Structure 1
Amino acid sequence: MNRFGYLVPEFPGQTHAFFWRELKALTELGHQPEPVSTRHPGQSGPIPTWAHGRIPEIHYLVPPDALQIAGTALTALSGLRHLDELRAASGLKGSPLPPRKLIQDLPRKAALFLAGAALARHARTRGWTHIHVHSCADAAQVALFAHILSGIPYSLTLHGPLSDYGPNQSEKWRNAEFAIVITEQLLAEAQEHLNGSLPTTVKVAPMGVELSAFTRLTPYKPWTQGTQAQIFSCGRLNPSKGHMDLLRALRRVVDSGVDAALTIAGEDEHGGRGYRTVLQQAITDLGLTRRVTLLGAIPEDRVRVELERTHLFALASLQEPLGVAIMEAMAMGVPVVATAAGGVPQLVTEGHSGLLVEPRQPAKLATAMVDILRNPAQAAEMGAHGRIRLESTFDVRQSASALSELMSCPN
């Protein structure tokens, strides 16, 4: 049985339900994963329902409590004997940045180093054999520092384009024991940009859903003329999720003669005081006030309720590494219309489990939505195929099994 650290930055956030599911699956496989995070979530809004009562299980590196400060300081001081390694790992050695930029970045690098010392100390205290990091940004840098200070091995999961995760990727990956990427597309990108810096083992293991938690209570019923078509979307309120395009598509759907309503689950990063206000104004301007409902952040069981009653799931993301919200809809046997952004085509088979359109094309999005709504037999068939697709490839137990196997067979 492996006792290891499971590092997720600013955990738990509204989009982090997958990590709880994977932690549960890893425990069922006989491991002892212990969640650790850089700090408490920075975004406003309530703690996700699935995390209620679980916060005490998470160890936060920042800010340290009084009992941790001395041990962290001693661990940091001991690292001075690894000065050259630390300079290389921090990206300072041989950096192309001008001296002024390097000096400006020193306080941030020092903070990450101290967090790494805190992680090394906690890993030693808990008897961890490994640290798995679900990020390639600052959390990976923290794990790299902890590795240099204590020798504890770490691994990475890449969830999106490398450009999203900041500098110093070569050092983070070169020192990792192994890595997981969630799509073949991301693997190709990593191989192109990190040639010579990849660990020996890099495996593709998609994220997944807990299928037992996303199973219909009643059979799916397609939309019928004379009733209101229910469309559901789920994703944080951020321009990258394409909600504006979805609203414009809905306007076209209604203008085509389909009586449709859209419900969107998710909140912005400012507890409803940010991008939500932009969307609310657009809803008014498009004359959709009575047709669009913004639910805000909702618990998993409410997501299931919405998917149980909807006729169609739609997501218009400009970039989507894979799409757990799409997975949840497919698991519930709901036909999907989505943008062919990022890794979505790996998930949704065009014309089989849903329809795909290019991002930023609200007219084509509307056409695809109307096509599914007006063809009930096609809608039901796509929903059934989606469930089968999830069962075969995107069960959360598969990603947990991949991580379990890699930790059990170190390089």
Structure 2
Amino acid sequence: MSNSPTLGYLIPQFPGQTHIFFWREILALERMGINVALFSTRPPPPGLISHVWSDEAMKRTEYLGNMDPRRAAKATLGVSPALWAKDVLREGRVLAKDLAIASAAAQKLKESCAARGIQHVHAHSCARSALVALLAQQLGGPTYSLTLHGPLSDYGPGQRLKWRHAKFATVITEKLRKELPELLGEDQPEKIFVQPMGVDVNALIRDVPYHPHQSPQQLRIFACGRLNIVKGHQDLMAAIRLLRDKGIDVRLDIAGEDDDGGSGYRKELENRITELDLQDHVALLGAISAEEVRRYLLSAHVFTLASWHEPLGVAYMEAMSCEVPTIGTNAGGVPELIRDGIDGLLVEPKSPDALANAIMLLARNPKDAQRLGQAGRTRIIERFNCEKGAELIAREALDLRVSEEI
């Protein structure tokens, strides 16, 4: 692909435990004949490196995060204060600090893109990585674009500055898109697309039929999400206790790790398992590979994630693609993915009772479980295929059409 266009692809702390959806998009771009040059701020903590492709990804990734005083000085001299002055005056020293931290990485990104002929960088972040892409552009480097993966307030200062100079942006849900005018005003880029990150429906497919739960066999439940209080794992454990108290033989496996590589919120969940006397019925699997996630999905009767708020939920998509009947929470952008009673079930967050009832409903109604599983896969194929995001980036970042010979 030496004569093919090259796209810069910037992801913070790549490859982390939740980054499988980035890798899928990268592979989709490469199937289209596009060279993808990977950049990241720094590697993730060792305990969060879990995928079989992680070593390959790290070898391919240029890390920009090491502070280089020479590059920082060069970047500071190369960017006019007029670029950021009004934003710093409005937002204060926090933004000024972020700009200073990002400056050396921006100079390094600009130099690397120039050497490799990269004319555009897509930043899969609206946090500090977006500042790196912005400053690199202002230093004479490539144009850039952004993806918003969650509430804008989660991504730090300087949002108007980051968005004002972007060639285009993608947002993963309609809900997030509707919030932007009030938050960004005139600083929105001309082109903003609603495009969720998707899954590879050809990889996440069953090679054995789904068999609904039949009593008296054990009811197998799978959940996948980082170990954080907002993911609601503690609520799911409480629901498992309620099911056990009703005499239901149930097993819950939770894939994912906390952001400290196992020394953070995991400890609280371990204590909660003991308090609920669920040591023989709930397992924390840690950060596992995509292949292991698929294996657990194919053996599960039900998938659920009890998030308090969730921008959208790639883990839901993976389960639905594998035809596993899926229970989500009516929070954030999840209702844009799961339509209650049509291709999954929705319950209110922070409600172990409602979650237990929904699980029991699927366990006791095998035909409904099978119907929802099949409808879930159809939903993912039609709306949440990773090829769609790759096609959009190719079109808008590189001015290519999918039908073109690349």
TM class, shorter-chain normalised? over 0.9
Counterpart residue type for residue 384 of structure 1: Q
Q: Which residue of 2 aligns with 1:340?
A: 330
Aligned partners of 1:131 and 1:96: how far apart in 2? 26
Match of 1:272 among 259, 262, 275: 262
Counterpart residue type for residue 285 of structure 1: E
TM-score normalized with structure 1 length: 0.92
| 1:35 corresponds to 2:34 | no
Aligned partners of 1:142 and 1:199: how far apart in 2? 18
CA contact (8 A) 2:255 2:285 kept: yes
CA distance 1:191–1:409, change in 2 (3 Å): farther
Q: Which residue of 1 aligns with 2:168?
A: 178
Superposition CA RMSD, Å: 1.8
Aligned partners of 1:24 and 1:264: how far apart in 2? 27
Match of 1:63 among 66, 91, 115: 66
**Number of positions where the alignment pairs a residue of Structure 1 with one of Structure 2:** 397
Give the CA deviation at 1:44.
3.7
Aligned partners of 1:269 and 1:407: how far apart in 2? 32
Give the CA deviation at 1:108.
4.2
Q: Which residue of 2 aligns with 1:85?
A: 83
| 1:2 corresponds to 2:1 | no
Matches within 5 A, 1:77-226: 78-79=77-78, 82-88=80-86, 91-92=87-88, 94-95=89-90, 97=92, 102=93, 106-226=96-216
Q: Which residue of 1 aligns with 2:15?
A: 12
| 1:367 corresponds to 2:396 | no
CA distance 1:28–1:46, change in 2 (3 Å): closer
Aligned partners of 1:390 and 1:355: how far apart in 2? 15
Give the CA deviation at 1:43.
6.5
Give the CA deviation at 1:106.
4.7
Q: Which residue of 2 aligns with 1:324?
A: 314
Unaligned runs of 5+ in 2: 401-406
Q: SS of the counterpart of 2:83?
A: helix
Give the CA deviation at 1:257.
2.9
CA contact (8 A) 1:237 1:275 kept: yes
CA contact (8 A) 1:338 1:355 kept: yes
Counterpart residue type for residue 35 of structure 1: L
Aligned partners of 1:151 and 1:62: how far apart in 2? 18
Q: Which residue of 2 aligns with 1:401?
A: 391
Q: Percent identity?
A: 44
Match of 1:263 among 253, 258, 272: 253
Give the CA deviation at 1:227.
0.8
TM-superposition CA deviations, 1:11-30 (whole Å, max 9, x none): 11000011111011011112
Give the CA deviation at 1:96.
5.3
Aligned partners of 1:31 and 1:74: how far apart in 2? 34
CA distance 1:255–1:76, change in 2 (3 Å): same
TM-score normalized with structure 2 length: 0.93
CA contact (8 A) 1:75 1:149 kept: no
Give the CA deviation at 1:75.
4.3
Match of 1:304 among 278, 290, 294: 294
CA contact (8 A) 2:69 2:104 kept: no
CA contact (8 A) 2:84 2:161 kept: no
